[in-house]
């Protein structure tokens, strides 16, 4: 059957705006976020209902056409990008963006999977509640993408990853079956927790069409501070101090080096006058839904202790919402700052908190030994043991070539270091198409075998996002 016959067959399932087959418009969906790989497809399907998703999957399975689910296309590992074969269609959830229900008593929100994270945060805030998932891409990424990558972000230290916020799910399986489990229960021990299979599965097990997320009370007070660290300041001890002395009211503990801050402020129109000490800087936030707690006083006391221990040389406590926002903007603009300078080779590593300093020391020597002229942008969610240990692409280098060269050599040394400390090569960005070889290299063989069996059980014909994460076959390579 020719591609145009396929297009007609899919068009019949969808209403007017539901299919894109014009090559120019298709091109806006086929390149990954980092612009390192462009795949090929003959159509982008944009279903408006769960039934349409199910119909698409049934037809695709019958025609043996692969499906790549796509949300906001903000992920970093190529999982939302089709391969080069031209035999995979993209299913974009962008038209399924409804807020279905907010339940202030159960403190939950039910949404379509294509709802943009920022819109869901705003809807929750409108009801006096907080959706405690926050990341730099929140204006474009979708809840279905957040679930499928188990997104982390800037408040994991308090509220956990997306996995921890998921109460219910609606998902279309590879034969078109709809799993409808949109419950808002905290307790539901009725067999396997099927919804969790889809978290972090990167579109390889099902297409998420709806979700129920846990909300929290909206903070009434926030104390936000920018800490300049002394040389060798112990990050894990500083974090432990803040957690203990704030009665665990911490929501954010973000580490940044001077280079990362400079990249961000260079990309901002009105940057605040913050900087780093010799040990870097940390953005710390405490938040409370109680308006009776003196969070600023608490923060000042904690900062005083940290100065007394010799861990920080200076600190600013934000005096207004505007100052808070501008400190946050610095942190959130780092990826954009890297991009403007010619990009970075990203290493989204995580190690147990006690080993963060060791990782920084060993990785630093590895980088210097590789090439003393390399520049780094190191920052991240240190409250969760997660560092973005990024090698900056020199302004005059070919970005793709440079990235390939680093990924073939230095990156593996850095991942070896993380692995030797009990860490991982992907803390929050996933595996997608780009990190499969790393899963193969560093993953436990038994765990990979278990992943393959899960994939084979949910998608035996490998219709869903073939080429990402794992394939259902027992022999040969992962992808």
> 420-443 b/e with 16+ CB inside 10 Å = b?
ebebbbbbbbbbbbbbbebbeebb
Residue 200 in contact with ligand FAD, rule: CB under 6 A: no
Measured distance CA(30)–CA(4) in Å, rounded: 19
Smallest separation, CB 431 to ligand FAD (Å): 9
Minimum distance from residue 263 beta carbon to ligand MLT (Å):
11
User: Which listed option, ligand FAD, ligand MLT, none, makes contact with residue 149 (CB within 5 to 8 Å by class)?
Assistant: ligand FAD
The reply on whether position 337 binds ligand MLT by CB under 6 A is no
Query: Is residue 408 helix, strand or coil?
Result: helix
202 makes contact with ligand FAD (CB under 6 A): yes
335 binds ligand MLT (CB under 6 A): yes
> What is the spatial distance between Cα 391 and Cα 376, in angstroms, rounded to a whole number?
5
Q: Can you list the positions of beta strands (E) in 191-239?
A: 207-214, 216-217, 221-229
Long-range pairs for 240-249 at CB < 8 Å and ≥24 separation? 241/302, 241/305, 241/306, 241/309, 242/284, 242/286, 242/302, 245/298, 245/301, 245/302, 245/305, 246/286, 246/298, 246/299, 246/302, 248/158, 249/286, 249/287, 249/288, 249/293, 249/295, 249/298
Contact 34, 335 (CB under 8 A): no
Answer yes or no whether residue 275 interacts with ligand MLT by CB under 6 A. no
Q: Is 200 in the site for ligand MLT (CB under 6 A)?
A: no
Q: Please, which residue, 335 or 472, has the CB nearer to ligand MLT?
A: 335
Among 6, 228, 346, 347, binds ligand MLT (CB under 6 A): 346
Angstrom distance (rounded) from CA 46 to CA 95: 6
Partners of 280 in the β-ladder: 277
259 interacts with ligand MLT by CB under 6 A: no
Minimum separation from the CB atom of position 478 to ligand MLT (A): 24
- Which of 277, 280 has the CB closer to ligand FAD? 280
130 binds, among ligand FAD, ligand MLT, none (CB under 5 to 8 A by kind): none
Question: φ and ψ at 40, to 5 degrees?
Answer: -140, 140
Would you call 160 exposed, middle or buried from its count of C-beta atoms within 10 A (0-12, 13-18, 19+)? Answer: middle
**Least distance CB 292 / ligand FAD (angstroms):** 32
The residues in 92-151 that bind ligand MLT, with binding defined as CB under 6 A, are 136
Question: Residue 172's CB: how many other CB atoms inside 10 A?
Answer: 28
Instruction: State which residue, 355 or 465, has the beta carbon closest to ligand FAD.
Output: 465
388 binds, among ligand FAD, ligand MLT, none (CB under 5 to 8 A by kind): ligand MLT
- Chain position whose Cβ is nearest to ligand MLT: 335
Residues 51-70 that bind ligand FAD (CB under 6 A): 68-70
Q: Tell me which residues touch ligand MLT (CB under 6 A).
A: 136, 334-335, 346, 388
Q: Tell me which residues touch ligand FAD (CB under 6 A).
A: 33, 68-76, 79-80, 93, 113, 135-137, 141-142, 144-146, 148-149, 151-153, 202-203, 207-208, 335, 428-429, 432, 465, 468
């Amino acid at each position: 059957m020719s591609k145009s016959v396929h297009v007609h067959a899919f068009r019949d399932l969808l209403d007017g705006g539901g299919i894109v087959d014009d090559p120019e418009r298709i091109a806006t969906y086929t390149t990954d976020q980092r612009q390192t790989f462009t795949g090929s497809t003959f159509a982008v399907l944009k279903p408006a209902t769960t039934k349409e998703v199910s119909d698409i999957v049934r037809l695709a399975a019958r025609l043996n056409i692969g499906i790549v689910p796509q949300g906001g296309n903000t992920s970093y590992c190529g999982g939302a990008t089709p391969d080069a074969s031209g035999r995979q269609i993209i299913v974009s959830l962008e038209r399924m963006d409804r807020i279905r229900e907010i339940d202030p008593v159960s403190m939950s929100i039910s949404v379509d999977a294509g709802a943009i994270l920022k819109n869901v945060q705003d809807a929750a805030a409108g009801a006096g509640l907080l959706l405690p998932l926050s990341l730099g891409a929140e204006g474009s990424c979708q809840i279905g993408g957040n679930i499928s990558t188990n997104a982390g972000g800037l408040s994991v230290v308090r509220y956990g990853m997306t996995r921890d916020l998921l109460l219910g799910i609606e998902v279309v399986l590879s034969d078109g079956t709809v799993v409808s489990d949109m419950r808002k229960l905290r307790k539901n021990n009725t067999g396997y927790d099927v919804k969790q299979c889809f978290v972090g599965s990167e579109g390889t097990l099902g297409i998420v069409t709806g979700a129920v997320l846990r909300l929290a009370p909206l903070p009434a007070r926030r104390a936000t501070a920018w800490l300049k660290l002394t040389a060798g300041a112990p990050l894990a001890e500083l974090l432990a101090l803040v957690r203990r002395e704030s009665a665990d009211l911490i929501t954010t503990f973000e580490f940044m080096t001077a280079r990362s801050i400079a990249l961000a402020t260079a990309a901002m129109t009105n940057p605040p006058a913050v900087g780093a000490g010799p040990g870097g800087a940390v953005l710390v936030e405490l938040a409370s839904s109680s308006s009776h707690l003196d969070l600023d006083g608490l923060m000042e006391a904690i900062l005083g202790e940290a100065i007394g221990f010799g861990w920080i040389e200076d600190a600013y406590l934000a005096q207004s919402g505007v100052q808070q926002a501008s400190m946050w903007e610095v942190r959130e603009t780092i990826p954009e700052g890297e991009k403007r300078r010619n990009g970075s080779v990203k290493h989204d590593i995580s190690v147990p908190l006690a080993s963060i300093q060791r990782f920084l020391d060993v990785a630093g020597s590895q980088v210097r030994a590789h090439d003393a002229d390399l520049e780094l942008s190191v920052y991240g969610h240190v409250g969760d043991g997660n560092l973005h240990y990024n090698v900056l692409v020199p302004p005059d280098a070919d970005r793709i070539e440079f990235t390939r060269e680093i990924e073939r050599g230095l990156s593996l040394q850095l991942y070896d270091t993380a692995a030797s400390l009990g860490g991982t090569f992907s803390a929050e960005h996933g595996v997608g198409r780009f990190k499969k070889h790393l899963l193969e290299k560093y993953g436990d063989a038994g765990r990979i075998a278990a992943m393959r069996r899960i994939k084979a059980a949910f998608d035996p014909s490998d219709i869903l996002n073939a080429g990402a994460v794992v394939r259902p076959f027992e022999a040969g390579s992962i992808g």
